[in-house]
Structure 1
Amino acid sequence: MARYFDVHPVDPQARVIGQVTTMLRDGALIAYPTDSGYALGSRMDYHDGTERIRQVRRLNDKHHFTLVCADFAQLGHLVHLDNSAFRAIKAATPGPYTFILRALPEVPRRLAHPKKKTVGVRITDNRVAQALLHELGEPLLSSTLILPGQTAPLVDGWTIKEELDHVLDAVVDGGEVPERPTTVVDWSEGYPEVLRAGAGDTTRFE
C-alpha cells in the first residue's frame, strides 16, 4: 500500500517533505502535484524507476521521460542550450512547459530517447514539488500521471491513492491542481516545435 501524505499546498510542512525525500532516496516511486496535474516521480539513479513508470502508464521505450528541475541552473547541467533556447526557456520557466533537448553526458543513457539522445526537462511552479526538489537536491525523473486510455492527468491525491495504491510507494497530496498537461516544445534541432499544446502559452514558440 502507498503511504499517503497530506501536504499544505502553499506552505508545505518541512517534516513531511523530509519523510517523502527519504523514501525517494531509498528507491520509492511517488505521485506528486505539479502546476499541470499530478506526476509520477523517482530519483534519476533509481534504475527500476523508468520501468515502473512505464508499467503504470503502459508506455513503450520511445516515450520521452522528463527530468523535473528545481531551477534553471539545475536544468542547464542536463541538456544542451544554445543562446536562443537559453533566453526563451529561461523566460518561460518556472511554468507548465516541457522542453525536449539533447541530453548532456550527466543524463543516464537509459533516461534519454534511444535514437535521438534527447530528454524532456521542466521547472514546475508548484510549491509542493519545489519543496521536494530543493530538499532532494537533484532532479526528479518524472512522467505526467495520465492513466492508460485517458487524455488528461489525474488532479486529486486521494483518487490517485485509491487507483494506484498497489503500484506506488507514496502519494503526496498537495490539493487539487490544474487538469491540463504541460505544453511540450521540442528544441532538439535548434528551433522550437510545439509537439503538444497544453497549459502553457504556445504563441511565444510559434
Structure 2
Amino acid sequence: MSQYFELHPDDPQPRLLKQAAQILHGGGICALPTDSSYALVCHLDDKSAAEKLRRIRQVDEKHHLTLLCRDLSELASYARVDNQQYRLLKLATPGPFTFILEATKEVPRRLSHPSRRTIGLRVPEHRVAQALLEQLGQPLLATTLILPGDDDPLNDPHEIRERLEKQIQVVLDAGACPMEPTTVLDLSGDEPVLVRQGRGDASALGLDL
C-alpha cells in the first residue's frame, strides 16, 4: 500500500518532504508532480529501484531515464557541456525541457544509453519537485508517468495511487500538473535535434527546429 502525502503546491511541508526522502533513500518509488506532468522517481544510486521504474513503464534499457537536477550546478557532474550548450541550458532552465547530453564517467553505465553514452537531464520548475531535490541533496532518476497502454501521462494523484498502490511506495499530491510531457532536445551531436515536441517552446530558445 503506497503512502499518500498531500502537499501545499507553493509551500510544501518539510516534515512530509523529509518522509518522502527517507522512502526514496530506502529504495522506494515516488510519484512526483513536475512542471510538465507527474513523474516516477527513485534514488539515483539504487539499481534495483531503477529497474522497478523500467518495469512499471515497460521500457527497456534503450529508453532514456532522466536525471532531475536542482539547478545547472549539478549538471557538470553528469554531462559534458560546452559553452554554447550551456548558454542554451541556461535559457531553458528551470522549465519543461529535457536535454540529451553526453554523459560523464560519473554516470553509472546502467543509467546512460547503452550504445551512445548519453543521459537525459532536466531542471523542473515546480516547487514540490525542487523542495524534494533540496531535501535529498542530489538528483533523482525520473521517467514520465505514462503507464503501458496509455497515451497520456497520469495527472490525478488519486488515480495514480489507485493504479499503482502495489508498485510504488509514495504519492506526493500537490494537485494536477499541466499533463503535457517535456520537450526533448538532443544536444549530443553537432546540431540540436528536436526529439519530442512537448510543453517547452524550442523557438523561445532561438532554435529553428
Q: What is the TM-score with the length of structure 2 in the denominator?
A: 0.96
Q: 2:199 is matched with which residue?
A: 199
Q: Which runs of 5+ in 2 are unaligned?
A: none
SS of 1:34 mapped into structure 2: coil
Q: How does 1:45-60 map to 2 (within 5 A)?
A: 45-60=45-60
Q: How many residues align?
A: 206
Structure 1 unpaired stretches of 5+: none
CA-to-partner distance for each residue in 1:27-74, whole Å, 9 max, x for gaps? 111111000110000111111122111111110221001000011101
Residue 100 in structure 1 maps to residue 100 in structure 2: yes
Q: How does 1:33-182 map to 2 (within 5 A)?
A: 33-182=33-182
Measure how far apart 1:190 and its partner are.
3.3
Task: Check whether the contact 1:82–1:190 (CA below 8 A) recurs between aligned residues.
Answer: no
Greater shift after overlay, 144-153 or 12-21? 144-153
Q: Quote the offset at 1:150 in angstroms.
A: 1.9
Tell me the distance in 1 between the aligned counterparts of 2:83 and 2:165: 44
1:84 deviates by: 0.8
Q: Distance in 2 between matches of 1:75 and 1:154?
A: 28
User: What is the rounded CA distance, in whole Å, between the counterparts of 1:4 and 1:198 in structure 2?
Assistant: 28
TM-score, structure 1 as length reference? 0.98
Task: For 1:190 and 1:13, locate their aligned partners in 2 and report how far apart those are by CA, in whole Å.
Answer: 44
Shift in Å, 1:191? 2.1
Equivalent-residue separation in structure 1 for 2:24 and 2:58 (angstroms): 22
Deviation at 1:161, TM superposition (A): 0.3
Deviation of residue 118 (structure 1)? Answer: 0.4
Residues in 2 aligned to 1:159 and 1:72: alpha-carbon distance in whole angstroms: 33
Query: 1:89 and 1:131 mapped to 2: Cα distance?
Result: 21
